[in-house]
Structure 1
Amino acid sequence: MKKRFLFLMCVIFFAIFVMSACEAKPGPVGATGADGPEGKSAYQAYKEKYNYEGTEQEWLQDLINGELSTLPEHLVTFDPNNGELAFTQSIKDGEKAKRPSLPIRDGYTFQGWMYDDGIAEEIWNFGGGSITEDITLIAKWDYATYELPIININTDDAEIDSKENYTDMTFSLENCESEFFDLSGGIRLRGNSTSKYGKKPYRIKFDSKQPLFGLKKAKSWVLLAEYLDPSALHNYTAFSLASQMPGLGFTPTPYKVNVYLNGVYAGLYTLCEQVQENEGRMDIELDEITEDMVDLKDFNFFIAMDWSVTEDPTAILDETYFYLEEYDQYFELKYPEKSQFVSQQQFDSFWAQLKAYVKEMMQAFENPDVEANKEKIQNEVNLNSLVDYLIIDQIMGEQDHAWKSFNMYYTNTSSDQENGKLNFGPIWDYDWCLYTPWTGSPNEDYTVSDEIAYSNIFFTAVADVPEFYEMVKERYTLYASPALEAYLEQFDEIASSVTESVAINAAKWYTSFDPDLSQDNIDFLKEYLENRKAVLDDAWLVATD
């Protein structure tokens, strides 16, 4: 009897409640078909008014148990603004929203939940702000670090999945002295083996020439991903040292940058010039190729000894590269392109002469102690460039140049030591070096090597000919040893300038490795360079007046 009385009282109470809350005429109380506003059931009316999330059966049970609220409820929507789905809280009128757990976004620092009331944006105060209506709070983010320049690339979420075709983009460079905003152009993948890793290397081509970081204006620039180098300083070190070697006509200028792609942190990169024929870079570009150019040395040309060209789907045998079976080496023609020649006949003649010339030079370097070959090298090669290239590779412990990324060029339009000679350089590709064994994954070997090894036939020839080897000692003493000493004096400052960025990059790309991987590689690089200087000083340093 008592239970029936309590149930009847609940039903009577709710009938009064429904009439006031839903402004409905009384009907069969508790019946889900009772008319509410616009013919809605009591359940439907209550659900809409109070943002009730339960089923009709749950609603009836809550009604019986006296657990239904008479206060309106409001939805607070939280947009984490990090690619994840929004979520909501149902808050009673006049009460405070609950502070959710902190969202996460790679490469950014969370600033708070922003509220826009139509007049101004402000960070929501969870301790003081009461909820009186449905609102949306959006996560506000800032860059995780401002220690380096920041590059923002926007493709409107279009994929960058080709090494041939550029994806339209806008490009901004900020947090540096020479800022640029919304430059138009294209971006594509670059590299061979490096493009297979999750962290992608890119080539950028602006619609018009741009002087990034105050460098010579150009359309094409490169973003090196350097996934295999957790220190992120191998290329930076090699390029910095090579810039002090006057025999190398052009060396890319490296800048460490943090890159964001469509608002997503892409990682720590090295931005530098594209190695190409261009004013301010390799100044070998011809005004035009004319039909009276018939001999090989009427042209300027840029080639690379590079086995990885065979992995390039755009490469064409005997059109963009050739193979010398006697030396098991591939050579890629980087400039000029076939389309620049006046005719197929002219290109065919150039190509045949180029292959013969490279083979002839290889034969000379293969037996440099033969007097005729030694004289040929002395007369036709810019030995300063070759010796300086060798020295940089020995400092860096570079081994890939035995078969790839080994550049050389010929020019007859230069007014300096390069003119009419085969030049070696520009240097390139130091992601994997320091004489560490190849693993195909980021370096975890910290064994310092004392080895002095010559990776290719050109370097071996220099080491085998006493006159050439004396040049190594002289140029190391005059240029390389002082440059390396100066770099080591600055090393801690250089490493400190990328500390935050290296850690953020590691948190994105090296999650399956030791958390100290990047810092360990930085420490190893310093130890390696200090030891390397001692080894090479002992081998090559000569007394000077």
Structure 2
Amino acid sequence: MNKIKKALSVCLSAALLFGCSAKKDTEEKVPVFSESNVSEDLSLPLLSIQTTSQDENVMDFIKKPVAKHVAESMVQWDPSYATTPEPYYESCYVKLSTKDESFSLKPHAAQVKVRGNWTTNYPKKPLRIKFDQKLNLLGLNDGAEFKNWVLLAEYKDGSMLRNKATLYAARQILKEDGLYAADSQLVNVEVNGEYMGVYLLTEQQQAAKNRVNIKPPKKDYKGTDTGYFLEFDGYFVNEEELHKFPLDLNNNAALKPYDGNDGSGRTIKCLSAGGTIKKPLGVTIKSDIYSQEQHDFIENFVNNTYKIMYEAAYNDKAFVFDKDYKNISETTSVTPRQAVEKVVDVQSLIDMYIICELACDADVAWSSFYMDADFSDKGSKKLRFEAPWDFDSAMGNRPRCTDGYGYYAANIVPDPDTEKDTINPWLAVLAYEDWYRDMIKETWTKAYDSGVFEQTCQMIQDDSTNYQADFKENYKKWNNILMNYLFEFELSDKAKKCVNEKEAADYLLNWLQSRIDFLNSEWHK
């Protein structure tokens, strides 16, 4: 018995010693964080990134990369873009803490890279963080845990509050209907001890429980009975073939813009027609798929769903899918409205229309317009609209709807790149249906009366006031509110005149209040 006890004791001691050694080895992998040079006078939470590499050029990962398709378009003006690296992940550790210590995240392993499209061309670049385990940051999204998070640089928005304000309002409206909009919080960011400025910490647009809640396929599953997360995306042509498809928009049928004046006698075709060369319109499949069958299924569903919407609105006809969602045919067994409601979550489209109309986003007919469809057992098997995104050019920052008045989101607007006339077909196609307009008014009235828009304005005012020291430090680092030559051509005259964050926030607040007043005069019941 004593021999057994002795043997067990030796084993236990060895295990404890090995365990301590393993723990020590793990801890030694965490790099020592560089001494912070962030002023103690700042109020926002501090997110610190420390690379595991000590290479002298390691900071290149956050300073040099430009999205490949952006670099390719820039090389015609500046040949140096030919050697610009694409965004790449760098192994890092990330920690995060608030000034009052109400939240603290100890160092966690992550991969960090530059993210985005055109914004990767700016000196202060947006970032994606991919942790090695699911975590929550600052209690965002009711404490839900994820691996993927985003830091938006807000480089061309002098107020740095347009994305935060729009997402705040969207979250209140969409959440009422079980839909998703990203949560967000301003933070200071440092990398290897170097202060990088104020960023908007927010959520990665992805299919996941508590984000875009659809059921994506398990790895290598090839059946069509799964979830699909989609983006109406001007950059879709840059994606691999399996993750993109073009829109035919009911054979490019003409739309009547909604301008509050019966279209003013105008119509518009979204795709190239009559000798007018436009960029192709299409969809990027953002979630995982593993077969051509899945690709073809969702392409067919999206294009036929649009046809059902168009035929209902413009020809007063009801079309429905067969049981396999492959073909559609005309029927008299349901009304045109019912035909639409069979395949579209109309309330989600209403919610997204209100957000887009409120924000007057310059990219509304171009990109960052998301939808999804879930064909799993418990899925709705409807096209659903949610996950609003990318509003740094909205709310009067670009020369669009600068006085806050008039209809915009389902109207003819200039393409942000070519300036040719364009329109968002999903927002415009049902715009003249009386029942659809009634739903808009009901949804707006509910949101207005519950204080959503008043709270959004108050948030802008509070953030600008409370974080002035942080914003001043950010502009001391970048000075892009004055040295705005990289994006000055994108700005409205009023946005150009702002010389500090306070002026930019005041302009944003005044614009938004005017916008709310106009829409309320049109929609409040």
Paired AA for residue 508 in structure 1: K
| 3-state SS of 1:530 partner | helix
Percent of residue pairs bearing the same amino acid type? 24
Unpaired runs of 5+ residues, structure 2, are: 1-34, 66-84, 253-270, 272-279, 319-335, 411-422, 485-496
Q: Is the 8 A contact 1:406 1:428 kept in 2?
A: yes
Q: Is the 8 A contact 1:405 1:428 kept in 2?
A: yes
Q: Is 1:323 aligned to 2:246, yes or no?
A: yes
Kindly state the Cα deviation for residue 289 of structure 1 after the two structures are TM-superposed: 6.2
| 1:300-311 matched pairs, under 5 angstroms | 300-310=227-237
Q: Is 1:393 aligned to 2:356, yes or no?
A: yes
| 3-state SS of 2:383 partner | strand
| 3-state SS of 2:96 partner | strand
Kindly state the Cα deviation for residue 492 of structure 1 after the two structures are TM-superposed: 2.3
Q: Is the 8 A contact 2:362 2:398 kept in 1?
A: no
1:178 to 82, 99, 103: 103
Q: Is 1:358 aligned to 2:302, yes or no?
A: yes
Kindly state the Cα deviation for residue 288 of structure 1 after the two structures are TM-superposed: 2.4
Q: Is the 8 A contact 1:484 1:533 kept in 2?
A: yes
Match of 1:253 in 2: 183
| 3-state SS of 2:172 partner | coil
| 3-state SS of 2:210 partner | coil
Residue deviations 1:362-388 (CA, integer Å, cap 9, x gap): 223344242315433211111111100
Residue deviations 1:269-326 (CA, integer Å, cap 9, x gap): 11111111122212223462686x64x4x1110110101234x5xx21x212122354
Q: Is 1:497 aligned to 2:466, yes or no?
A: yes
1:143 to 24, 30, 39: 39
| 3-state SS of 2:213 partner | coil
2:435 to 440, 457, 467: 467
C-alpha distance in structure 2 between counterparts of 1:142 and 1:458, whole Å: 45
Residue deviations 1:398-444 (CA, integer Å, cap 9, x gap): 131212111000124596xx723211011111010124445xxxxxx
| 1:436-447 matched pairs, under 5 angstroms | 436-437=397-398, 447=402
C-alpha distance in structure 1 between counterparts of 2:446 and 2:113, whole Å: 41
TM-score normalised by the chain length of structure 2: 0.68
| 3-state SS of 2:186 partner | strand
Q: Is 1:207 aligned to 2:132, yes or no?
A: yes
RMSD: 2.5
Kindly state the Cα deviation for residue 461 of structure 1 after the two structures are TM-superposed: 2.5
Report the CA distance shift for 1:242/1:194 in structure 2 as closer, same or farther (over 3 A).
Answer: same
Moved more, 426-435 or 491-500: 491-500
2:406 to 436, 448, 451: 451
1:274 to 200, 204, 219: 204
C-alpha distance in structure 1 between counterparts of 2:397 and 2:122, whole Å: 19
Q: Is the 8 A contact 1:148 1:497 kept in 2?
A: no
| 3-state SS of 1:432 partner | coil
Q: Is the 8 A contact 1:248 1:384 kept in 2?
A: no
Residue deviations 1:329-384 (CA, integer Å, cap 9, x gap): 121011123xxx3xxxxx12222222222211222334424231543321111111
Kindly state the Cα deviation for residue 242 of structure 1 after the two structures are TM-superposed: 1.0
C-alpha distance in structure 2 between counterparts of 1:414 and 1:432, whole Å: 39
1:168 to 91, 94, 102: 91
Kindly state the Cα deviation for residue 479 of structure 1 after the two structures are TM-superposed: 1.7
Kindly state the Cα deviation for residue 502 of structure 1 after the two structures are TM-superposed: 1.6
1:233 to 153, 161, 167: 161
Match of 1:43 in 2: none
Query: Relative contact order (alpha carbons < 8 A, sep ≥ 6): 1 or 2 greater?
Result: 2
C-alpha distance in structure 1 between counterparts of 2:343 and 2:402, whole Å: 40
Residue deviations 1:147-174 (CA, integer Å, cap 9, x gap): 1101111124613136553101111102
Match of 2:50 in 1: 154
Q: Is 1:512 aligned to 2:473, yes or no?
A: no
Q: Is the 8 A contact 1:248 1:385 kept in 2?
A: no
Paired AA for residue 244 in structure 1: Q
Report the CA distance shift for 1:387/1:515 in structure 2 as closer, same or farther (over 3 A).
Answer: closer
Kindly state the Cα deviation for residue 253 of structure 1 after the two structures are TM-superposed: 0.7
C-alpha distance in structure 2 between counterparts of 1:414 and 1:256, whole Å: 39
Q: Is the 8 A contact 1:241 1:480 kept in 2?
A: no
Q: Is the 8 A contact 1:399 1:435 kept in 2?
A: no
| 1:44-443 matched pairs, under 5 angstroms | 141-143=37-39, 145-155=41-51, 156=54, 158=58, 159-160=60-61, 161=65, 165-175=88-98, 176-214=101-139, 215-245=143-173, 246-247=176-177, 249-286=179-216, 288=218, 294=223, 296=224, 298-310=225-237, 312=238, 315-316=239-240, 318-324=241-247, 326=252, 327=271, 328-337=280-289, 341=290, 347-367=291-311, 368-369=313-314, 370-372=316-318, 374-412=337-375, 419-437=380-398
Structure with higher Rg: it is 1
TM-score normalised by the chain length of structure 1: 0.65
Match of 2:456 in 1: 487
C-alpha distance in structure 1 between counterparts of 2:298 and 2:179, whole Å: 22
Kindly state the Cα deviation for residue 241 of structure 1 after the two structures are TM-superposed: 0.5
C-alpha distance in structure 2 between counterparts of 1:458 and 1:447, whole Å: 24
Q: Is the 8 A contact 2:46 2:97 kept in 1?
A: yes
C-alpha distance in structure 1 between counterparts of 2:503 and 2:86, whole Å: 33
Q: Is the 8 A contact 2:125 2:153 kept in 1?
A: yes
Paired AA for residue 41 in structure 2: T
Report the CA distance shift for 1:140/1:210 in structure 2 as closer, same or farther (over 3 A).
Answer: closer
Report the CA distance shift for 1:520/1:446 in structure 2 as closer, same or farther (over 3 A).
Answer: farther
Kindly state the Cα deviation for residue 448 of structure 1 after the two structures are TM-superposed: 2.2
Q: Is the 8 A contact 1:307 1:404 kept in 2?
A: yes
Match of 2:504 in 1: 521
Kindly state the Cα deviation for residue 496 of structure 1 after the two structures are TM-superposed: 1.4
Q: Is the 8 A contact 1:446 1:524 kept in 2?
A: no
Q: Is the 8 A contact 1:324 1:359 kept in 2?
A: yes
Paired AA for residue 123 in structure 2: G
Moved more, 157-166 or 470-479: 157-166
Q: Is the 8 A contact 1:230 1:517 kept in 2?
A: yes
C-alpha distance in structure 1 between counterparts of 2:288 and 2:436, whole Å: 31
Paired AA for residue 285 in structure 2: L
Paired AA for residue 400 in structure 1: D
| 3-state SS of 1:152 partner | strand
Paired AA for residue 180 in structure 1: L
Residue deviations 1:50-86 (CA, integer Å, cap 9, x gap): xxxxxxxxxxxxxxxxxxxxxxxxxxxxxxxxxxxxx
Report the CA distance shift for 1:349/1:179 in structure 2 as closer, same or farther (over 3 A).
Answer: same
Paired AA for residue 510 in structure 2: E
C-alpha distance in structure 2 between counterparts of 1:231 and 1:252, whole Å: 19
Q: Is the 8 A contact 2:161 2:460 kept in 1?
A: no
Report the CA distance shift for 1:358/1:420 in structure 2 as closer, same or farther (over 3 A).
Answer: closer
C-alpha distance in structure 2 between counterparts of 1:196 and 1:374, whole Å: 45
Report the CA distance shift for 1:446/1:502 in structure 2 as closer, same or farther (over 3 A).
Answer: farther
| 3-state SS of 2:372 partner | strand
Match of 2:444 in 1: 476
C-alpha distance in structure 1 between counterparts of 2:401 and 2:214, whole Å: 41
Residue deviations 1:178-215 (CA, integer Å, cap 9, x gap): 21132111101111111111110000001111111132
